[in-house]
Each structure stands twice: as C-alpha cells, then as structure tokens.
C-alpha cells in the first residue's frame, strides 16, 4: 500500500511539473496588447464633410475604456501593455496647443498599465514576437484602435499626408508575426473600419487566430468601445 501511495504521489508530481512547464498550463503568463493609432490634422481634414477626428481622443479614450473592461474581467494591469503611435500625438498637440503626450502618460499611470510609445510598425511586430519570452508569456489579447481600411492599419492617416498614411501594417506584412506568440485561443479584434472585409481573413491564415473586424465603417464613441456606423448593413466577423 505504501508503495502504491508513493507511486501515485510521484505520478502526481510529474503531471504537475508537465503542466507547469507547458506554455498553456496553469503557470503560463498572459499578456494583453492594446494598440492605438494616431489622429488626423485639421490642415487636411477641414475640407471634408465630415472631417475625421474632430476629437483627438478617439483612439485613446476607446483604448482606455477597453483596458478598464479587461481589468474588470480580471486582467492584471501589469500584464497590459499599451502601444501608442507617438508622432501623431506630437503633431496634433502642436496643432491644438496641448501636451497630449503628458495627458496620455497620466492616463496610463492611472490605469496601472505599461505605456510604450512607438514610431514604426516594426516596433509593434518585434514586440509581438519577442517583447517577452514567448515560450512562457503568450499574447492572450491583441486589439487595435485606429484608422484602417480592408487591408491595412494606418497609424498616421491624414496626419502627415492628406487621406494617406506613411506608417502602417498591411495584410501582406502579417507573415512577420510569429503564430507561437499567441495563446491557442487568443482574443484579437480590430476596432477600425473595414478590417473584417479582408485583413481579418489574412490574419487568421497567418497566425491561426480569429481576428474580429468590421464589415463597413465603425464609429468611435466618448465612453464606449467603437460601434458599427450602420448596424443594419455592417457586421463584425473574422
């Protein structure tokens, strides 16, 4: 009987060790990556009806609301990293005569999350792949707030060039993302316009992960996550 008990105990320890060493086991760390693009400038937008981004906070406030939701659902603030495209908030701040970098930093500190300014798409891609030891720290949640079309996230849309972007991640560049960076069933969503029409499908083929995206346009709100501009014609899909 003692031998059987010892054998059972040894088997239990062995199973526990296997679970602990598994990337998806109980000891696996999770990371939540929130990505905010930048706002446009009125020098380009003043001729349009309606102009984009009358409110500079569109992609900041939406991310802030979503981060609060994640924390309410049990995500630890220390496991949330918030990427913000810095150059556009510098130029928008100059336009408006405001210190938006300081404002965003204060918001991130209040939320308790790690704020990372970025200036290039490569910084985001490199972080997804190797910002943490991805054999032990998997991306459980990845969400984008910003301008987009069906094939591209545009981080500086109508900020440097009228109705165009100089910094982006295109669907044909998704091959640079390592599938093993993600948990097996991560939550991925693009809150911009039109992503569900093409980019979502490319993302799934590359990473194996479903990325929810909008068919049609989205509307950014004041104290909510974005909604479909036309709920009767648009939809969310992956």
User: Which tens digit of pLDDT belongs to each residue from 199-208?
Assistant: 999 999 999 9
* Rounded mean pLDDT, 14-29: 46
What pLDDT is recorded for position 111? 98
Q: In the structure, what pLDDT confidence band is assigned to residue 90 with cuts at 50, 70 and 90? A: very high
CA distance to 87, 88, 113, per residue, from 106 (Å): 18, 18, 11
**Structural domains of the chain ordered from first start:** 25-237 (3.40.50)
| Angstrom distance (rounded) from CA 32 to CA 80 | 5
* Rounded mean pLDDT, 98-113: 98
| Angstrom distance (rounded) from CA 166 to CA 154 | 8
User: Which tens digit of pLDDT belongs to each residue from 119-156?
Assistant: 999 999 999 999 999 999 999 999 999 999 999 999 99
Give yes or no for residue 12 having a pLDDT over 70.
Answer: no
What pLDDT is recorded for position 18? 31
What pLDDT is recorded for position 145? 99
Percentage of the chain surpassing pLDDT 70?
Answer: 89
User: Which tens digit of pLDDT belongs to each residue from 171-208?
Assistant: 999 999 999 999 999 999 999 999 999 999 999 999 99
What pLDDT is recorded for position 14? 40
What pLDDT is recorded for position 27? 54
What is the pTM assigned to this prediction? 0.89
Buried b / exposed e over 84-120, threshold 16 CB at 10 Å, is bbbbbbbbbbebeeeebeeebeebbeebebebbbbee
């Amino acid at each position: 009987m003692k031998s059987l008990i010892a054998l059972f105990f040894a088997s239990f320890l062995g199973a526990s060790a296997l679970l602990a060493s598994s990337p998806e086991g109980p000891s696996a760390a999770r990371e939540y990556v929130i990505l905010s693009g930048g706002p446009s400038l009125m020098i380009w937008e003043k001729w349009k009806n309606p102009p984009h981004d009358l409110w500079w906070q569109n992609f900041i406030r939406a991310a802030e609301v979503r981060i609060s939701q994640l924390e309410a659902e049990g995500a630890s603030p220390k496991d949330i990293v918030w990427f913000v495209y810095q150059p556009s908030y510098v130029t928008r701040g100059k336009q408006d005569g405001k210190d938006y970098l300081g404002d965003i930093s204060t918001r991130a500190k209040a939320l308790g999350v790690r704020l990372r300014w970025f200036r290039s798409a490569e910084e985001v891609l490199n972080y997804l792949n190797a910002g943490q030891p991805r054999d032990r720290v998997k991306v459980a949640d990845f969400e984008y707030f910003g301008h987009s079309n069906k094939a591209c996230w545009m981080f500086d849309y109508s900020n440097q060039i009228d109705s165009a972007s100089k910094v982006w991640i295109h669907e044909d560049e998704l091959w640079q993302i390592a599938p093993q960076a993600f948990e097996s069933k991560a939550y991925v969503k693009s809150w911009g316009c039109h992503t569900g029409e093409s980019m979502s499908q490319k993302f799934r083929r590359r990473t194996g992960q479903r990325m929810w995206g909008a068919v049609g346009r989205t509307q950014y709100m004041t104290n909510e996550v974005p909604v479909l501009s036309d709920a009767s014609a648009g939809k969310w899909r992956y």
